Structure 1
Amino acid sequence: MKHLYSLVVFLLISTVCLQAQDWPNLNRFKDENAKLPAPGKKENRVVFMGNSITEGWINLRPEFFSQNPYVNRGISGQTTPQMLLRFHQDVIDLQPKAVVILAGTNDIAGNTGPSTLKMIEDNIAAMTEIAQAHKIKVILISVLPVYEYGWAKQVKPVEKIAELNKWIEQFAKENKAEYVDCYTPMLDSRKGMKAEYSNDGVHPTAEGYKVMEPLVVKAINKALKKR
């Protein structure tokens, strides 16, 4: 629970900064969250927390969400500290049975400044601990393969992504979370994403999401069966 103590300090300091600007985009889903009714007694609501890969999921495969009790809370470009700051209002307050977290690639790309793997790991761990403290099951998806970021070509992500995924898998195993390996089935010979699954090497196409969906659903079902 050490990450929770660090988080309290982090949030207190961040509150001052947030008065000047909405860095974590807290207002993005404010109205939608307010309109979303509490889940029914038998509803297995699942919130998907993430970045543009999660946001793009509902745009390219809307039926995956509309045909399931899934709530999409992905915001394009976001990094793990931004997700952590909005985690309570965009996940906890929605009272889900489970949360699916797909995060880390934008940190590696440097979207909000330089990030070490330790920083990313701490943020993922903190989100996991917060969810579990509220009796919410956690599903962690691997960072998807990237050979090169079109907007940050100076970054060499291949080794960092592989190392982060090893940590996520081990962390999930040690902390009663489910790990979903979407990295391996989408990997090409350069350790980037297969061309048939992405147009830019970073974001999945509809075909890419079709690869991910059965793997994620299997993990969700497994998590929900656990007490």
Structure 2
Amino acid sequence: MTRLILKNSFLLLLIMGRNMQAQDWPNLNKYQNQNSMLPLAVAGQKRIVFMGDSITEFWSTIDPDYFLGKPYINRGISGQTTPQMLLRFRDDVIALHPSAVVILAGINDIAGNTGPSTIEMIRDNIFSMIELAKANHMKVILCSVLPAYDFPWKPNQEPIEKIKALNVILENYSKANNLLYVDYYLAMVDERIGLKAEFSNDGVHPNKTGYQVMAPLAEKAIALTFLK
């Protein structure tokens, strides 16, 4: 009888855990404590939030020196797609009162991480994040999607043309709306139209060398943003 009760209790906890995870689809809980403990930006400080997926999240782990001593806040979440980022944009960006946001998003939508997505769906989610940022008086730095020949966790998706098409949209939107555009794609693409082998261990995520290519491009855009 005791064993049955314990088994049932374990199953209930497992179900509750799964339900809680399902209810927090955008993963608002991930940074909730850090956000609540974040002090207000000091006068004159240009706080910048990096919003994205694993490529953003892992940057702080693989090349932590880039963020050291700077008012940069990493709010990347591995595996996320643009609808998830849009849902948490208020909590993980707006509520932190940054001067600017760096948006790098779209590759997981193309991989189909949360189901099929058209380029137009991805575009609209990214544009909505930008509109929210502007409405809350912050600068926007928009980044190209990095090149990828294929996805190791979900092969045969043929992402090359989709990535190219999305980047054309993002670059044109940046020009039309006077936004800084960071072209990681051009700096990191190889002859196969994938990510250069020296910049990645899996063809999708940058290694330290890859992040060291990205860093000066991001820094240049950040500097130019505050000259406008």
- Following TM superposition, the consecutive aligned residue runs of length 4 or more in structure 1 with deviations greater than 4 angstroms are 17-20
SS in 2 for 1:149: coil
Match of 1:172 in 2: 174
1:87-145: CA deviation from partner (whole Å, max 9, x where unpaired): 00100010100000000000000000000000000000000010011110000110000
CA distance in 2 between partners of 1:67 and 1:181 (Å):
25
1:170 and 1:223 map into 2 onto residues whose CA distance is 17
- Pick from 8, 24, 27: which aligns with 2:26? 24
Q: Is the 8 A contact 1:145 1:158 kept in 2?
A: yes
Q: CA deviation at 1:18?
A: 8.8
**Does 2:47 correspond to 1:39?**
no
* CA contact 1:172–1:179 (8 Å) conserved in 2: yes
| Aligned counterpart, 1:51 | 53
Q: Residues 20 and 206 of structure 1: is their aligned pair in 2 closer, same or farther, counting only changes over 3 Å?
A: closer
Alignment of 1:107-122 (within 5 A): 107-122=109-124
| TM-score, normalization by structure 1 | 0.90
1:105 aligns with 2:112: no
Q: How does 1:6-155 map to 2 (within 5 A)?
A: 21-155=23-157
RMSD of aligned Cα (Å) = 1.4
Distance 1:62 1:208 in 2: 13
CA distance in 2, matches of 1:164, 1:41: 37
TM-score normalised to the size of structure 2? 0.90
Partner residue, 1:11: none
Asked if structure 2 preserves the Cα contact closer than 8 Å seen for 1:145 and 1:202, the reply is: yes
Q: 1:224 to 1:18 in 2, by over 3 A?
A: farther
- Report the secondary structure of 1:225's partner residue: coil
What's the CA shift for 1:67? 2.3
Rounded to whole Å, the distance in 1 between the matches of 2:76 and 2:100 is 15
Q: How far 1:225 sits from its partner (Å)?
A: 1.8
What is the DSSP-based 3-state SS (H/G/I as helix, E as strand, rest coil) of the residue aligned with 2:181? strand
Residue type of the partner of 1:125?
F
Residue equivalent to 1:157: 159
Tell which has more relative contact order, 1 or 2 (C-alpha 8 A, sep 6+).
1
Give the partner amino acid of 2:199.
Answer: Y
